[in-house]
Every structure is written in C-alpha cells, then in structure tokens.
A and B are shown apart, each in its own frame.
Chain A
Amino acid sequence: MSFFQRIFPILALLSFLLLIGLVWKDYDRPYLEYQRKFKALLDQKSTGSSKPVEFGFGYRQRWSKELGRVDRCETCHLGLDDPRFKDAPQPFTTHPVIAEHAYEKFGCTECHGGQGMATTVEDAHGPTENWNKALYHDNFMENSCSLCHGEYLQAQAPVLFRGQTMFFEYGCRGCHKADGKARTVTGPPLDEMSKRVKSDWLYRWLMGPKDYWPQTKMPDAKFTSQEAADVSAFLLQGPGPKGQAISGDAGPGKTTLLESRCTTCHTIEGKGGKTGPELSKVASKAYPERLFKVVKDPHALWSDSKMPIFGFADKDINDIVTFMSQEYMDLDLNENEAARQAQLVASGSKERGKELAVKQGCVGCHSKIEGVKEIGELGPDMSTFGVVHISLLDFGDIKVPFKERTVPNWIYNKIKSPRLFKEGLKMPDYYFSAEEATAITTYTLSLKGKEVPASYTLPLGERPSDYAPQGAFGKIVDKYRCLVCHKINGKGGEVANDLSQEGSRVQEAWIKKFMKAPDTIRPMLEERMPPFKILDPENDAIFAYCRTTLVTDKVEDLTGPVDKMALGDPQIIRDGEKLYFEKYGCNACHQINQKGGLVGPDLTETGKRLRPEWVVYYLHDPKAFVKRSVEPVYALTDKEIQALTAFVLSSRSSVTH
C-alpha cells in the first residue's frame, strides 16, 4: 500500500471527528445552560398546576427598527414578566415595574447599555475588545431617562436631576458647553477687589476656599504659594480703600445683628443657612467700608446677589459693622503669618497672575475681571460626552484593568479627582462626595446628543415656572429677595412656605404686623424670617397684591357658607374644644398657650391670623395645597369642621402684650 492509501482512512476519520467537534462546539452554547436552569425553576414553581409547563428553548430577540436596536437579553433573562420570580437570583429576577416601561417596545439596551446583539454574558454585558459600551452600573442607571422623558425629572429620576442641578449651580457650564445652554455666571463679580478684601485674605482664599467657608461652591485650583500670590496681585490691582472710619456701638450692633436673623442665610461658626457665606471671620476678609456697602445695598454691588436690602438706617449699619469688625476676626490667624502673606502678594507678578487667571478660567464663574474678557471654550464641549469614544479619554499614568476602562468610570474619577490622571491637568477640585460625583456623572452620561423617535418620547415632570412678578410688587419682591426663600406659583426657594394662596389665607391686620416684625409661627423650625424695614406703602402694596392675586377660589367661594356658620356660638365652641382635645388629639402636634406639641404651627392666635374660610377648607383637605403636609386627613364631617373652626378661631393668647 502506498503512503497515501495508508493515510487516507486516518485523515478521513480525523475529519469526521473534527466535524463532530465543530457541531459540538456550536451546539452547546452557553445560554442553553441558563435556560435549563430556568426551566428547572419554572417546573418547581409550577408544581401543582394542571397544565404542563411550556418552555421553548432558543433565542429570544426584541427588534426595534426605529431605535435601531436588537436586544437578545431575554434569552437568559427569562423571568422578566413573571411575578413568581421576584426573589429568584439573577438572571431570572422579575423586572421591577416602572410605570409603563414595556420593554417589549423599547428593548433593554436603550436604558441599560451593553451589547444587545450578543448572547454570551461577557459580550452582552461588556466591555469587550470590540464593544466598549458596557452595562451601566446601577448608580448611573438614571442617565437614560431624559432621552424619552425630558429634563424635569425631579421626582422620577432624583439622581439625574440632582446632577443636572449641580451642573448648573457649581458653574460647570462656565467652562464646559453642554446641551446648548448658555454659560451662567455663578460667582460674584471681581471688580474693585483692592477696595473690598485684604490681600492676605485673598491669598488664603485662593490657597484653599473651603478653609474659610466650607460650603463654598468655589473649587480649589490647587495653586502653589507663588501662583496664589501672583493671582492675588493681579486681582488686587487698583487703589485701596479710602480708609473711612466706621464708628458705631458694638453693643447695639450685636443686638441688631441677632434680631435680623442673619443666620437664616449665613453661617456663623458653621451654624446657619447655606445661601450666604460664613461670617465669623469676615473682618479678616473685608474692609469695614465694604461691609457697610454690602449691608446697605448689596444689589448695587452684584445684581444677582441673593441678599435682600434690609433698609437699615446708616447708624444701625455703622453699629453692625463695628460689631463685626471687633468680634468677627479670625482668631487663629497669626499676625506675622498674615503680614508675610501680604508681603508675598505685594511682590507678586501681575502679568503672571493674569496668565494664570486666564488659564484657570476664572471668567467661567466670575465677571468683571479687569482685562479678561470672554475667552472661548475653557474645557471640552460636553454636549455629547455621554457617548464619547473611549479611545479619546486619557487614563494617563493610572493602570486601569481592561474591564474598568469604560466611559462612566473615567467620568466619575475625573469629577471626583480632576487631576488624578496625570500632571499638568487644570480642572480645579470641587471635593465632591461620592454621591455628588455619582449624580454629576449620571447627568454627564445623559448628554448623548441624540434623539429618539417622537413616538417614543413622553415628557414628564413639572416644567419650571417662569413666574416673574411685575410692577410695584415685582420691585418689592426683588428688593427683599422673597423668592430666595419662598415659592410663588412654582418659582422660588423651599426654605419657607409657599405663598401662592397667601391672600386667601391670612388676615390683613395680622400679616401687615407680621411683615414688620416676623415672629415664630412654627416652633420646630430653625429658619426664621428676618425683619426687614418694610415701609408702609410697600406693606400695603404687598397685601393688595396678595389679596387680589394670590388667592384661590376654592377658599374664596366659602365666604357665603362661613357667614352662616355662627362661629361665635359658645356651644359650638365647646363642641369644638371637645373634638380638639378628646376625639382628634390635635394638641399632640399643635400648641395653644404653650400647651401641646411642637410639630405643627402654634394655634394660639389663629383667630387673628387665619381667615375662617381658610381654616374650614384646610380642615376639609389638609393636603390640598401642600402635598407633603404632615396633618392627617381625618374625613371630618361638616359639623365637626364647623365646631373645630369655631374653637380654634376663638383661642386667645393668655399672655398680654
């Protein structure tokens, strides 16, 4: 036999065996293992039912032509629509019900990321050599919500919304363009710095803003000592303060300051509100004449300032400033150290300081920097950063294992430690916490620069209100900055109560008195309304506007019925008293004459404060205007409402003024 005759059968057999090998390799695909496991679980859960369990082995696919996606996740994720698998281990767990997110229509990867076309775990979840868009980590999952639901998802996607808000508040848009919105200036203007702040303070501030004011939004540019001195020198160009003496009495100054409740917005030694800067060291920062100007008319210095115009008399301001100059000094400051820092600044290079100011992008948050105008883009455009290609992101000197080399990872680490990747990066450090960095990362990931077909969109959430009071009332609101703390018609802050129905709520005499001297309504709250020196014409204008515009017919229409209610009848009042104390236990949360609980407002002088129609309506539906109201909904009968209203309105303070 020739060589080939001997070898031919061997080769043929080998080929045949390899063919079997081919078939074997292809047939025993990994997903079948998962399907067998699922079938076993399904059989377990269906024991006892009459019908045999039907389960077809094979691929499952969802194809969305409009979205251009093919998702085969359900090949292994089999229990998605079966409530019996709620507690089953992944991949069989039931999909949580999120409203109408019929994944039958959307597929999976539009929201979750990953490679829908794949049918093995590593390839589907990613990242792999040829698919970098891995599954989104749970923390960042909300990023896809805005694709279909728009950008007002305060309730529905809180992490995303927080990131969105922070992106605005922390001035990210000052350096990075994103979703077509304009740059907003978030910091104060930097004109006339030499007349405003002391040079050694500015040096210390640039070296570490959080040392002076822990809640500041200004990031740390990590200047070296020389750089901080140079930038300070640059900013402090120009004549110094005139050196006017501010002479007043510290004692009355202290009283006025405490009465004015500055800690509603400012912190003093760390305690207080978050709106204004820390005051306990302000004398080491600002010259007295500047302090005077700030207290007198903050809007003239910075039109976007949130601080109201209190309307103090000049003498009072002198007293306040004198008090602050004496008491609000930085006690830890070593005088020699301060002098050394001032000297550093004095010998700093203004040209170098200007270069640094330009390079660091101060103009991204601050306006009116001498000689520095709009200088174009300081950081990369973020409008489509959520889908940036991984090869464009530099991990620098950090050794990152392949599986972690993803876009979300890079963004998160960049936001948390902006200069982590290598030397020479210039993004300043905001010292964000892990939660904050997660929120901002989620928002950044949502910037995909793409749109889904209109039939897939469903805008949700409340659009922000564009309410802007006009006329005399508008000017008063602007002067006293009411909307920093209060909300009216959807616009404003949430520090104090919503005033949208205030006209239907309060009585004229009481509110006018309150505006001049606000006292405590809710014992539990720390914030207190500061006493502005509201002028009488202003007070009248405010009330007129409230009574005509900030009303609700639901309450106004009750005027007729209330007139017929005989709320002065002593028997009805006694009935009300019984209901108040015995049946409903209102005193558990409310105080009358210092007896009772502290949760709700003090009801002692309600008869003078609230309008009867309001009380009636409120008892009828406590959550009508404030959805978060703690008051229980008791479903009171009309008679009970009448009695309780009569009683509450009848209470009078036992303390004589």
Chain B
Amino acid sequence: MALHTRNETFENGSATSGIPVVSKWLEDKTFGLGLINISLFVILNVTGILLMFYYAADTDRAYQDIKDLQFVITFGAIFRNMHRWSAYAMIALVFLHMSRVFYMAEYRRPRQLNWVIGWCLFLCTLIASLTGYLLPWDQKAYWGMTIMSNVMASAPIIGEKLKYVVLGGSEIGQNALSRAFDLHVKVMPLIMSFLIALHVIRNRTDDLIANPQLHGDAEVSVWPNIICRELSKFFIILIIIMVAAILFGAPLEEEANPSVTPIPAKAPWFFLGLQELLSWGAPFWFAIVIPNMVLLFAFLVPYIERGQTGGGVWLHPSRRLQNILFTAFVTVAIGLIILGAFFRGPAWRFYWPWESWPLH
C-alpha cells in the first residue's frame, strides 16, 4: 500500500516557491503532534478500561477504590498514574498541535472543516478531563466541580437549568458522579473516536483536494517505513508517560467533604485560566460572553483569515500579523492559568508565589 507522507505534499515546494522561509530547521516540522495525540488517546483508553475493572462510580466506594488501586492492586498505581499524566499531557499537546496548525496556516482551504473538527476535539478533550477529574471523589474533585458547575450556572437564561442537568440535581452527589462517569467512560470516547477518525481521513482527502497531481511516483511504502516512524513517535510518548508514572504519583487529596472548603478552592488546572478570568468582573461577561466569543472566533478562523500566501511553513513573514495575534492569544491563555495557579491565595487575593498564605 502506498501512502503519502505529509512532508512530500509540500516537498515540491509549491507553497514555498519564491517566498523566503524563517527557519531552515523548523521549516515545516509537525513534530508528529497529531500522531502523539492519537497515541495518548490510545493509552488513555487502554488504561481507562483497566481502571474501570476496579472502580465503581458510587460516592461511598469511589475514594476507597482509588486507595485500593494505589495500595493493593498490582500495577494499580502505575496504570492510574499513566492515565492521569496522559490526560494532562493530551490537553497540553492538543493545544500545541492546534498552535502548530495555526502557525503553518494549515486551516486554509480546503482544510477549514478539519480545523473546526479539531477544535471540537479539543473541547471534547477538556470535557473528558473535567468529567474524569470528578471520579476520584476527593476534595479537589468535589470543589473543582463546584466551581465549574457554578460557572455554568452563571450563563444567562439557561444557566441554572444547565447546572441542574449536568449535576443531575442541585448538589454534587451520586447523580453527578454517575453522569460524569457515563460521559467520561462511554460518551466522550465514542464521540472522540468518531471525530478523530473523521479528522485523520479528512487530512488525507484534503491533501488530495489541494494537490490533485499527488498521484505521482513519489511513493513511500507503509511497511516498514511509515510504521517505524509512527511507532517511534508512539514509543517516545509511551516512554515519557511511563517515566512520569514511575516518578510522580497522581495527586489525591482527602475524601470529598462538603462541609470543609479548601482555601482557596481552585478549578482543575486546565480551567484555572477561566477561573482567573472570572475574578476580573461579572460572571456574565467574563465567564460567558468573553470565553464564548473567543471560542466562536477560534472556530471561525479559517473563514475569517483567507490569505493565500505563507502556508505550509512555520512563521512565514507574510503572516506576521496573524502569528502575532495568535501568539498573544496563547500567551494570555497560558498566562491566565499560571496566574491562577501560582499567584492566587485565599479569597483569590494576589500573592507572590513565595509568600505564605494565612491559614485562617
């Protein structure tokens, strides 16, 4: 079977002809991020299936099951750690993948729909992580979900109803746990599998649309070359995840206790930026309007930015404005998370990271 590598799509220099490139080394490297994300998805599914053998989404049992995994189940701690670190890695790497696509302007015709699918996948990843975050039923799970469900509730008109249906009630209890479990274990993996398949297939077909002359002689055989390359990238991520699983235990706090609020209560790190944003003003504007506008804009990027030049390579000079804007967006997004993680203490007051917090 012959498959075409993405590099060769641009190898004939069709996109770059006549236009200077920024960095020879960077040129059109993808770092295999798409493949790495799929690898992470596979790792997550396999470890997730294994974890399900010993976990019951019951508020009386969930925390104890996590303790069992940690203490008495052979490889329980390892698989749990792998699962957690893969999840966090996936969020970061999906974001990086998306950034890479932007910097190389690979969202342009005919790839617009694929960009939208990609962003859907990013949102799915966040939802999967959020629902998974609740499952250990510890303090950070409980209070993280409290914050997130309250953010949802601040949406106009539908807010309260949204929170009610997400939690399956007015408080975070058994219903919320069961729903989170269902979403996390079945719904998101199904949707994501489907979307990933679509995303990958479209990637290939988009190539053919863009370059009709691709049915040429430049063929590379799948076996062993493609498989080797793909497996290598898989091994890289597997190695990193295994090292992380050996060295760092997945965090676990005390069992969920509705009568004891941690001071301060923080959302999961991937939503910490949103929580930080929220602290700047009224929830309506800062939790609903601004984030949704940003999201809408993100989805519509390929339909807004329709330039013809500079695609296919990193940081092409003709795209200076777009790149600067996007870099600003990334900086703000990451900056918000860092701010919320290290510079906020009790009552969400500003503290330098080295300042100690008063405990009462």
Contact = CB atoms under 8 A, between A and B. Distances in A.
Interface of A: 2, 4-5, 7-8, 11-12, 14-15, 18-19, 21-23, 25-27, 59, 61, 68, 70, 72, 117-120, 123, 129-132, 389, 391-392, 394-395
A19 B241 CA distance: 11
Given A117-B64, A131-B254, A15 B78 contact: no
A189 B6 CA distance: 94
Contacts of A4: 225, 228-229, 232
A8 B225 CA distance: 10
Contact of A117 (B68, B245, B360): B68
A18 B242 contact: yes
Contacts of A21: 242, 246
The CB with the most chain A CB atoms within 10 A, among B60, B75, B254, is that of B254
Contacts of B360: 394
A22 B253 contact: no
B78 A7 contact: no
B231 interface: yes
Interface string B220-255: 000011001101100110110011011000001110
B71 A118 contact: yes
A118 B229 CA distance: 43
Contacts of A131: 254
B74 A26 contact: yes
Contacts of A18: 239, 242-243, 246
Contacts of A27: 74
Contact of B72 (A23, A119, A130): A119
A242 B79 CA distance: 87
B138 interface: yes
Interface of B: 60, 64, 67-68, 71-72, 74-75, 77-78, 138, 224-225, 228-229, 231-232, 235-236, 238-239, 242-243, 245-246, 252-254, 257, 259-260, 262-263, 359-360
A129 B253 contact: yes
Nearest to A14: B239
Contact of A120 (B71, B235, B245): B71
A94 B263 CA distance: 44
B-side interface mostly: helix
Given A22-B242, A130-B253, A131-B254, A11 B236 contact: yes
Contacts of B78: 22, 25-26
B72 A25 contact: no
> Would you list the 6 A-B pairs with minimal beta carbon distance, nearest first?
A11-B235, A117-B67, A4-B229, A119-B71, A18-B242, A8-B228
A15 B239 contact: yes
A558 B71 CA distance: 70
A392 B68 CA distance: 28
Contact of B246 (A25, A72, A129, A132): A25
Contacts of B238: 15
Given A5-B224, A119-B71, A130-B252, 18 more contacts: A5-B225, A11-B232, A12-B231, A14-B235, A15-B242, A18-B243, A21-B246, A22-B245, A23-B75, A59-B72, A61-B72, A118-B67, A118-B71, A120-B71, A130-B253, A394-B359, A394-B360, A395-B359
Contacts of B64: 70, 117
Nearest to B358: A394
A325 B246 CA distance: 83
30 contacts: A2-B225, A4-B225, A4-B232, A5-B225, A8-B228, A8-B232, A11-B231, A12-B231, A14-B239, A15-B235, A15-B238, A15-B242, A18-B242, A22-B75, A22-B78, A22-B245, A25-B246, A26-B74, A59-B72, A68-B60, A72-B71, A117-B64, A117-B68, A117-B71, A118-B67, A119-B71, A119-B72, A131-B254, A389-B260, A392-B260
A59 B71 CA distance: 10
A391 B72 contact: no
B239 A130 contact: no
A4 B260 CA distance: 53
Q: Taking each of A7, A23, A392, which has the highest tally of chain B beta carbons within 10 Å of its own beta carbon?
A: A7
A387 to B, nearest CB: 11
A45 to B, nearest CB: 28
A69 to B, nearest CB: 10
Contacts of A392: 260
B11 to A, nearest CB: 14
A11 B239 contact: yes
A7 B232 contact: yes
Of A18, A25, A70, A395, most B-chain CB atoms within 10 Å: A18
Contacts of A119: 71-72
Nearest to B230: A4
B50 to A, nearest CB: 13
A12 B138 CA distance: 37
* Most chain A CB neighbours (cut-off 10 Å) among B239, B243, B262: B239
Contacts of A389: 257, 259-260
Contact of B228 (A5, A23, A70): A5
A108 to B, nearest CB: 15
Nearest to A58: B72
A8 B231 contact: yes
Contacts of A12: 231, 235
A156 to B, nearest CB: 32
Contacts of B242: 15, 18-19, 21-22
Nearest to A15: B235
Given A117-B68, A118-B67, A26 B254 contact: no
Nearest to A389: B260
A130 B75 CA distance: 21
Contacts of A130: 138, 252-254
Contacts of B67: 117-118
Contacts of B225: 2, 4-5
Nearest to B235: A11
Contacts of A8: 228-229, 231-232, 235
B291 to A, nearest CB: 32
A120 B70 CA distance: 11
A395 B358 CA distance: 11
Nearest to B60: A68
A8 B229 CA distance: 7
Q: Which of B232, B359, B360 has most chain A Cβ within 10 Å?
A: B232
Nearest to B252: A130
Nearest to B243: A18
Contacts of B262: 391
Contacts of A68: 60
Contacts of A2: 225
Nearest to A395: B359
A19 B231 CA distance: 16
A133 B77 CA distance: 22
A15 B231 CA distance: 11
Contacts of A120: 71
A650 B253 CA distance: 81
Contacts of B75: 22-23, 26
B67 to A, nearest CB: 4
Contacts of B263: 391
Contacts of B229: 4, 8
Chain A CB count within 10 A is highest, among B75, B235, B245, for B235
A225 B254 CA distance: 47
A613 B359 CA distance: 72
A12 B231 CA distance: 9
A172 B225 CA distance: 81
A4 B225 CA distance: 8
A70 B229 CA distance: 48
B191 to A, nearest CB: 30
A391 B253 CA distance: 13
A11 B232 CA distance: 6
A635 to B, nearest CB: 59
B223 to A, nearest CB: 12
A28 to B, nearest CB: 12
A123 B72 CA distance: 13
Contacts of A61: 72
A129 B242 CA distance: 24
Contacts of B235: 8, 11-12, 14-15
A155 B183 CA distance: 58
